[in-house]
Amino acid sequence: MDGTDDAARFPLPSEIADAPGAEDWRSMYPYFTRFQPEDDQRFWFYNSMHFPEPMPAFDTITAEVPYSAIGANTARVFVFPTTLGIEHRIVNGRVYITAIPVLDEAEIGRRAAIFGERASYYYENWDSLYEGWKVRMRALIDEIESVTVPSLPEFEDASVVFGSVGIAQNHYVRENFHKCIDLFSKMWHHHTEMLMLGYGAYVVFFQFCKQAFPEISDQAVARMVAGIDVIMYRPDDELRNLARVAVEAGVDDLFTEGCSPSQVLAALADRGEGGKTWLAALEQAREPWFNVSTGDGFYHHHRSWSDDLTVPFAALPRYVAQVRDGLLADLGHVASASGVLIDLSSDRLSPGAGLEAAAHALHPFLGRTERGSGPRHAQALAWVLTGGEDHALAATFPPGTALPPRWDLIGTVREGDGVTVDGQPWAGSAGWDHFRG
């Protein structure tokens, strides 16, 4: 790939022009991140997943440290047979990466013998090693949280002179900054310690499935390893819980599209016990689950949820609506947006023994059901159709499709508009309307 071929191709690194207005950008970035002439012979791709914006020179440490940790764990700690890690380069502020492969068969064999012994130890003792890993990571988090940012007064405190300290606060700004970088590096080493082996296990499992079951789809293999408890999704789970608390506490009307976090918090303070309940739930969730970046965590201008509540509060109205809506109401949104009629079959919506028992116990106090003065079963069915979001997900599939596991057929899509039950309009409320109440 020397650039002499006229066929359509990707540009060579040496052919990428400087961005207008940033002609001397290279002077701001470390020399080892600049493309070299021999890099034209390697395939590079833009890492837009982790670094979607041009990276300020000050932030390049957040690329250098992870790739150094990946290289150390793959090349020297676990000795992966076919890779020595990842190299990265920066052009016009954007981060490009490429793999460092091991191509010599003899070297691959030599490394494979070492890797087999080391990786096997981790796989065989994964649970206990993971528990120890969590302890080490928690200790690093505690340590970095204890780092202070010294203030820089106009004059140093007199004790610096009369105590013969001899060191001003500006030194500790630099010292503590480097301490944060060192702890950041240790965290990334621990991150890749488990991550790379986890990826490796998935690749082996994927290859096995493809060989043993040639007809299996990639998606089917992915579903087989889905459902694990991933801590990175916990902040979103906490938001969903806050939405449920808002509805249960009767303060959900405050969470509307475009709501201001400061105005909502101020209003909650005047909403009695309901407001106190929600604010207490917020504080409980906030530490540590709001210590998550509003971006991808690699840029200094990406703040955390705790620093800027705009992002979590932008999601809360949608989650509150999901808690309040019922099945009929949700399907009404789908039918309206798609210009179709959705007809549900009551025979396929069994309320279950629990709801039947509740309807039986409460029947004397309920009066008329949603569909008139029908039997207790009608009340239980009404709860299924119009109660809170007890179903997990509703979707449409082409006729004759084999449904995925744990999915049930509950109706059909036809020409028309709206939602019906057994071919008839639903007589009562379709669920809570969060615009009208």
Q: What is the DSSP letter of 369?
A: B
In the chain, the percentage of residues whose pLDDT exceeds 90 is 56
What would you measure as the largest C-alpha separation in the chain, in angstroms?
90
What is residue 307's three-state secondary structure? coil
Q: What percent of the chain has pLDDT over 70?
A: 86
Highest mean pLDDT among 116-120, 315-319, 323-327, 375-379: 116-120
CB 349 within 8 A of CB 391: no
Residue located via tokens 């990786």: 119
3-class secondary structure per residue, 130-177: HHHHHHHHHHHHHHHHCCCCCCCCCCCCHHHHHCCCCCCHHHHHHHHH
Band of residue 318 on the pLDDT scale cut at 50, 70, 90? confident
Tell me how far apart the alpha carbons of residues 144 and 162 are, in angstroms, rounded to a whole number.
Answer: 31
The two structure tokens encoding residue 392 = 């997990």
Q: Which residues pair with 88 in a beta bridge?
A: 97
Extract the tokens encoding 371: 């569909």
184: how many CB neighbours lie within 10 A of its CB?
A: 17
Lowest-confidence region among 63-77, 134-148, 351-365: 351-365
Separation of first and last alpha carbons in the chain: 65
Q: In one letter, which amino acid is 354?
A: G
Alpha carbon distance 46, 64 (integer Å): 15
Contacts of 396 (CB under 8 A, 6+ apart): 334, 413
**Nearest-angstrom CA–CA distance, 410 and 303:** 44
Structure tokens that stand for 196 in this block = 């790379």
The amino acid at 29: Y
The whole-angstrom separation of Cα 127 and Cα 143 is 25
Q: Is 253 helix (H, G, I), strand (E, B) or coil?
A: helix
Rounded distance between C-alpha atoms, residue 291 and residue 305, angstroms: 6
* Residue-level pLDDT at 375: 52
pLDDT of 370 above 70:
no
pLDDT in tens, 276-303: 999 999 999 998 899 988 888 899 999 9
Model pTM score:
0.71
> What pLDDT is stored for residue 103 in this prediction?
95
